Every structure is written in structure tokens, then in C-alpha cells.
Amino acid sequence: QKSGIQCYNYKEYGHIARECQKPKRAKDAAYHRKKMLLYAQSMLIESEDMNYESEQIEQNDEDVDLAKERELLASL
């Protein structure tokens, strides 16, 4: 019966990587692909956050301009 513990070195079950008896495995294409996808995903989220912040700033600027116009009209 296999335990739920998996070695990240050779993807075998029953031990963890630091206890692995085999030499350290070179990182393969799947490892790098996953890292690139995670990076791309984080960049997309960051970009969406920046767009949202930009929209908020524009809305705040419009609100300030409107308030200034109201003050000017009220002072007339």
C-alpha cells in the first residue's frame, strides 16, 4: 500500500525528497512550464489590479472636478 507522501525528486511514494536515496533530479520541462504558467497568472492578476486602481483614480478625479464645479457655481 502506498502512503500519501510523495517524493518531489522522483515522484515516488513513501518518502520525501530530502530522504530520497537517488541523486537529485534535474528540473524537467513540466517543472518549468508550471513555473511559467504560475508567473503568467500572477502577472495577469497584477495587471487587472492595476487597471482597477486606474479606474478608481479616474473616478475620484471626476468626483473632485464635479465638486469644484459645484463650489464655483455656489459661490456665484
Specify the residue for cell string 503568467: 40
Percentages (nearest 5) of helix, strand, coil residues in the chain: 65, 5, 30
For the cut 60, the answer to whether the pLDDT of residue 1 exceeds it is no
Angle CA 57–62–64, to nearest 5? 95
Domain assignments of the chain as residue spans, ordered by start: 27-75
Q: How far apart are the first and last CA of the chain?
A: 86
Which is more confident, 61 or 19?
19
Q: Give pLDDT tens digits for 2-53.
A: 568 888 887 888 888 889 898 887 777 887 888 888 888 888 888 777 766 7
The C-alpha cell of 59 is what? Answer: 473616478
For the cut 60, the answer to whether the pLDDT of residue 66 exceeds it is yes
pLDDT of residue 69: 81
What is this structure's pTM? Answer: 0.33
